[in-house]
Every structure is written in structure tokens, then in C-alpha cells.
Amino acid sequence: MDNLFFFLKDKKRLKFLLLCIAIAAPILIGAVLVVNYYEANEQAAGTPNDKGGISYYYRESDGAKELPKVVTNIVPNYTSGQTTYFNVSTDSKNKLGGNLYVFTKDDFAKVKEFYKQSATIIDESDESLEIIKNKVKITISKEKIYEDDPIQNETKFNVYFP
């Protein structure tokens, strides 16, 4: 128990402890901010995968600030939506596969109209839309909102690249 109160025995030791804390705290806070900034900027950069391509992954409640270029080159991000999850990857031929989950205050009919622009429609129903855009087949479907979803009381939809 003596070791626990070693720095509190006299004023010199207490001053030393406070000096150490005063030096270490800004360094630790700075390191946390740098790592957080780096991770936020690397979400769209991706990591190499075993297929000879790149894998991209993001899962946060506040929404991705930007999507990977490989996704936005094929299909734009929904303008009034928040992408809270994406898991997409490419292979050595740059073929895209994976999905995005997006939340929006708009109803699903408006979402479908947005994605129909300059796309060839394959199939359409009340809760899904299959299109071909930039020679890539894309399925957009309305999803059920679950209790653990980061955003509630909004329309949730999935953009799927088979």
C-alpha cells in the first residue's frame, strides 16, 4: 500500500507527479488526435486484399465523409443521405463488389428516382431497384431498421454491387 501513495508523501514528490502529468497529458491527447485524423482520412484509401485489389471498410454512426473513388466513379453518394457503413472491395481487374448502407429522411421512392438517372433499369419494385450504370450491375433495396442501427426513424437503404 505504501507504493500507492509514494508520490503523495511530501511536496517535492507531488510536484514531480504533477509535472509528469502536465507533460504527458498534452502528448497523449495529441497522439489520440493524430491517430483519429489518420484513421478518418484512410477510410477511403483502403487496404490491399488477397484478390490483387483493394478492400474498403467503414462503420460509424456519424456517416462517412467521403466514399472510395472506385464507388463514386460508378454511382454517386445519395445527396441527402448518411453512409454509416460500407464494405466494398475490388479484384485485380478493378471489378467492384460489396455494399453500402445509407440513411436518409427522404422516402424510398425519391431514392429510386435519384439512382435511376442515367442508368439502365433492369427490375423495379416498391422496395428494390436493379440498374446497370457504367457497365456495373447495382441493386438498391429498402432495408428494415434494427434496434442497434445508428440512426432511427429514417429510411435505410442498401446499395449492393454483386
Among 155, 123, 127, 156, residue whose Cα is nearest residue 141: 127
What does the pLDDT read at residue 45? 74
Taking phi over 0 as left and psi of -120 to 50 as alpha, with beta for the rest, 80 belongs to alpha
Q: Is the pLDDT of residue 77 over 70?
A: yes
Q: Is the pLDDT of residue 2 over 90?
A: no
Q: Is the pLDDT of residue 87 over 80?
A: yes
What does the pLDDT read at residue 13? 87
Average pLDDT along the chain: 89
What does the pLDDT read at residue 44? 61
CB 58 within 8 A of CB 42: no
What does the pLDDT read at residue 91? 92
State pLDDT tens for residues 134-153: 899 999 999 999 998 889 99
State pLDDT tens for residues 34-69: 888 777 666 667 888 999 999 988 887 777 778 888
What does the pLDDT read at residue 46? 84
Helices within the chain (DSSP H only): 11-42, 69-72, 108-116
Quick one: average pLDDT of 22-41? Answer: 88
Whole-angstrom CA distances from 118 to 110, 126, 133 are 15, 20, 7
Q: Is the pLDDT of residue 1 over 80?
A: no
